[in-house]
Amino acid sequence: MRQQRLVNQINFLNFTIVHNLTNKEFDQQHIWHPYTSAIDPLPCFEVSGASGAEISLASGETLVDGMSSWWAAIHGYNHPALNAAAHQQVDKFSHVMFGGLTHEPAVNLCRQLLSMAPAGLERVFLADSGSVSVEVAIKMAVQYWACQGRPEKSRLIAPRNGYHGDTFAAMSVCDPVNGMHSLFTNSLTKHVFAPAPQTRFGQAFSEDDILPLEELFARHHEELAALILEPVVQGAGGMRFYHPEYLRRCRQLCDTYDVLLICDEIATGFGRTGKLFGCDHAEISPDIMCVGKALTGGYMTLAATLCTEDVARGVCEGNPGVFMHGPTFMGNPLACAVAGASLSLINQGDWQVQVQGIETQLKAELSRCNELACVQDVRILGAIGVVETKHPVDMKRLQPLFVKNGVWIRPFGKLVYIMPPYVISSEQLSRLSDAIYHCLSHTYG
């Protein structure tokens, strides 16, 4: 009894200590944020609200958002059409299992997706997140060839500097050396990697760019299930913009050597690069395509893997006759309803003028960062602006400085970049460009 009373007293003391902590103190001591140390966590800023292209902090500051909440909130925050879709659906039902059941929000969303997608994509598999949609795409490709009686075609090929997510199959096709997943090398499936494309977007295409990939296809095609890549823009692997001709040649190689093409449009889809999809720059269609992030306008997690009818039928022709994947929250009605509203906004076409305006303004304003001694390169495509520094930046030092300057920009490695909401005003965009120039010049000269 005495020991139990002591345990109860300790539990009560711990409860009291935890509940007496401020939000900031509790967050630092008990919540683990992405890509952050539990021993020496980076500072976090508490959000109290968000509207349009601005985020309000609990401490009173209002920040212009340069990140679209990791590239997803393309319509801005608190959008009336997306709010209405969420409210209307939550009053009906927020979730039902997707096994054996369907519902109007999922059907409407998939109708819209297929009407917008590159030609030939006819099936939609709804997933929880971008990483899961990549897992689904890889499983789809491997199961396709197994069911065609060619189980030896089980490896993937990918360009270096790619990034496809943080789950294990997705990690396995990220850059094996420069990527963020090198610690897990011994636990990952070994795939084939080609040199990253070198011809930049807008330059004259070099035939030398495709030769290493051609050689790898010739050598490994009998064991390759699919080529996976990010169309035109390599995102978290370096924010690199490459020539659309490289993508066009990839399509040709896949056709020649009987290899499926998976295009990861999670970051590039829905207008971010100036085209509806990155694939559209090369006028090609993949066999499998992943979308996510902006799919719901950044309101909630949802992704999708689209494929051709040939792939769908091929997957289901052999044992076990079904595709072996089924997330618990697959086809979540609430997420589907908001995604449908988001795609309706995209279909209105305003994004084309918005993204073109962002690109034009960034080219005019962000280019002056080239004069800074710490800057290696400045590149802009669509609603993406990238300042690459010569050495990795100190995020712990730079992040609060951006906040002090009234903007939300989250750099990583040597990259200080912005992917703002499409609805951002020219004045707000100038604040982002000015803050990047000022903070880099103030911090690094």
Q: What domains are defined for the chain?
A: 35-65+350-444 (3.90.1150.10), 80-348 (3.40.640.10)
Side-chain-facing half-sphere of 247: CA atoms under 13 Å: 27
Strands (E) across 235-301 are located at 240-241, 260-264, 288-291
Element of type H or E holding 4: helix 2-20
Over residues 297-354, the pLDDT tens digits come to 999 999 999 999 999 999 999 889 999 999 999 999 999 999 999 999 999 999 999 9
Active site residues: 35, 163, 264, 293
Over residues 198-209, the pLDDT tens digits come to 999 999 999 999
| Measured distance CA(430)–CA(76) in Å, rounded | 17
Backbone angles phi, psi at 433, to 5 degrees: -60, -45
Bind-site residues for substrate: 70, 163, 293, 326, 410
Q: Which residues are registered as beta bridge partners of 407?
A: 64
**Amino acid at site 398:** L
Q: Tell me if residue 10 falls in helix, strand or coil.
A: helix
| Inter-CA distances, 114 with 226, 258, 343, Å | 22, 24, 11
Structure confidence at residue 239 as a pLDDT band (50, 70, 90): very high
| Measured distance CA(189)–CA(211) in Å, rounded | 25
Q: How far apart are the first and last CA of the chain?
A: 67
| Measured distance CA(16)–CA(18) in Å, rounded | 6
Residue that is written with structure tokens 């500097």 in the block: 161
Bind-site residues: 70, 130-131, 163, 264, 293, 326-328, 410
Cβ atoms 165, 131 nearer than 8 A = yes
Structure confidence at residue 178 as a pLDDT band (50, 70, 90): confident
Over residues 383-420, the pLDDT tens digits come to 999 999 999 999 989 999 999 999 999 999 999 999 99
Planar angle of CA 402, 406, 408, nearest 5 degrees: 55
What is the reported pLDDT for 4?
A: 62
Length of the chain: 445
